[in-house]
Amino acid sequence: MKWLREVYDLFVDDPKLAVLSLVALAIAFLIAKAGAKSAAGLAIFLVVAGSLWYSTRHD
């Protein structure tokens, strides 16, 4: 669970980003279970990148 704490520490200044990153992981997990592992990686990238973009544009 140390890795989870490190990921959370990246987003600790903005709790919305931490929650959105966990949502991205959940979405990617569901996509990966469906068999589309490349799409799962893309989903993580898009959700986290979009969240960071939104956070920096609206602060």
Residue-wise pLDDT for 5-45, tens only, equals 776 676 676 777 778 878 888 999 999 999 888 998 898 89
Residue 55 confidence (pLDDT): 76
Distances (CA, A) of 26 to 4, 14, 19, 59: 13, 19, 11, 26
Q: Is this prediction's pTM over 0.75?
A: no
Higher pLDDT, 58 or 31: 31
